[in-house]
Structure 1
Amino acid sequence: MGFLMCGFAKRAILDAKVVAGYAHPLRTVRHLLSGKVVLTFTIKDSKQKIEQICQRVKQGESCAIVLTGDACFSEKELLQKIPCDFEIIPGISSIQVAAARCGVSLDKAHVLTLHESGERELLEQKLREVVDSIKRSKPVLLLPRPYDLMPNEIASLLISFGAPKHTTVRVYENLTLENETQTQATLASLPRKTYSDLTVMVINV
């Protein structure tokens, strides 16, 4: 998604001495990382690595954390781990791209993310609300939770909660990347396979 990066984000990366992030976001900006100190973190060690980054900031170093998720949506939990002052530079999210692919107006859609920690029961309650939107003919844009609440299980849960089996669904994987794919089906006929963790579901369109 590097070619959709806004100019402010590119400048922040170029000006930073230290650039950090998950492996995939760092790969998308690898052409900007020459001469940088690059810190790669995982979900498990992100809190520890971010604390190290903030120590560098307090010592006067310029740092940038690169995300491919929407910083105020799917990555909001990561932001809560940052114990120092920071600026958010927004970009173009996969939700926006999926909406554009389908011609869906975001103000008319039910937009939600399951890309968060927390009790599974709370996430399933969100899916019950999705069923209500489906019954009201409202389009739904949804980010699954890697890797335990992905498209096949979401489709099964929606049906069990009362969504019609013939409800249409599009699953976009790796949007804007070279390996982007789209699967069109119904909730009942969605192919059973391992979907990418970079997935957006568009339902009822």
Structure 2
Amino acid sequence: MTGKIYIIGIGPGSSEYLTKKAIDTVKMSDYTVGSTRAIELFSDVQNTIPFNVKELLDTLEKGVQLAVDGNTVSILSTGDPGFSGVLNTVLRISDEKNFSKDNIEVIPGISSLQLAAAKCHIQWDNANVMTFHGRENIEDILPVINNGKITIALPSRKVKDMAQFLLDNGVEKDRKVTVCERLSYPDEKIVEASMDEIANSEFTYMCIILIYPQN
């Protein structure tokens, strides 16, 4: 019997941003793989396989193997699976296990980047969209930061560290920045300030940073 893998985007964090497709798919799955925070968004879920960051790869391999063995497996990905999500990792593991892409379905979700653009009234199809999750080479932001477009980024480190990096590389102290923190949660916070002020402020790791062109 051939199994099935669903890679499901669960949105920015609040259950309000789950799609009906995501909810229905988890309900009918034999197993659901995801972080504890992601799994808790669903009320009807069975045979859960939670993971933390350190266990991520091993747990995803276990989830794919369950599908190889003939089960229907939902793998939960924060935001949208194709943007700083688990899509590429699951596809690589599936290829290694000779599990056909024909039996993998991606269910997109709403990313925190989309929500940040909406909250800030930004038409984001003309923005520089960048993610630095899991990457240390944040210097990639430098060639685009002055191209006249808004830059919307998922930082890889503390927001203040990224702001300081930009200041150290010639970005103006008064450059306008918006930080969207813990979007969709009850303690959501949106802060608009200068680059210098952001470099001297503390934020949690769950942030989107928007950097505006210098006037």
Q: TM-score, normalised by structure 2?
A: 0.81
Partner of 1:115: 133
Change (3 A) 1:190 1:155: same
**Which aligned segments of 4 or more residues in structure 1 are displaced greater than 2 angstroms?**
76-82, 129-133, 191-197
Is contact 1:131-1:158 (8 Å) kept?
no
Partner of 1:14: 27
Unaligned 5+ residue runs, structure 2? Answer: 1-13
In the TM superposition, residue 106 of structure 1 has moved relative to its aligned partner by: 1.4
For 2:209, which of 190, 201, 205 is the aligned residue? 201
Secondary structure of 2:145 counterpart = helix
For 2:199 and 2:145, locate their aligned partners in 1 and report how far apart those are by CA, in whole Å: 20
Unaligned 5+ residue runs, structure 1? Answer: none
Amino acid at match of 2:154: L
Partner of 2:109: 91
In the TM superposition, residue 17 of structure 1 has moved relative to its aligned partner by: 1.6
Is contact 2:180-2:209 (8 Å) kept?
yes
1:140 has 2:151 as partner? yes
How many positions carry a matched residue from both structures? 192
1:120-149 deviation line (CA, Å, top 9, x unaligned): 3x322x12124323xx2x11111011xxx2
For 2:188 and 2:82, locate their aligned partners in 1 and report how far apart those are by CA, in whole Å: 24
Secondary structure of 2:79 counterpart = coil
1:47 has 2:57 as partner? yes
Amino acid at match of 1:63: V
In the TM superposition, residue 26 of structure 1 has moved relative to its aligned partner by: 1.8
Secondary structure of 1:64 counterpart = strand
Amino acid at match of 1:62: T
For 2:47, which of 37, 41, 52 is the aligned residue? 37
Secondary structure of 2:197 counterpart = coil
Amino acid at match of 1:127: I
Q: TM-score, normalised by structure 1?
A: 0.85
Partner of 2:183: 175
Partner of 1:71: 81
In the TM superposition, residue 198 of structure 1 has moved relative to its aligned partner by: 1.8
Change (3 A) 1:57 1:80: closer
For 1:58, which of 68, 73, 79 is the aligned residue? 68
For 1:80 and 1:57, locate their aligned partners in 2 and report how far apart those are by CA, in whole Å: 13
In the TM superposition, residue 196 of structure 1 has moved relative to its aligned partner by: 2.2
Is contact 2:145-2:151 (8 Å) kept?
no
Partner of 2:7: none
In the TM superposition, residue 78 of structure 1 has moved relative to its aligned partner by: 3.7
Is contact 1:74-1:113 (8 Å) kept?
yes
Change (3 A) 1:165 1:130: farther
For 1:58 and 1:152, locate their aligned partners in 2 and report how far apart those are by CA, in whole Å: 44
For 2:170 and 2:211, locate their aligned partners in 1 and report how far apart those are by CA, in whole Å: 14
Partner of 1:129: 143
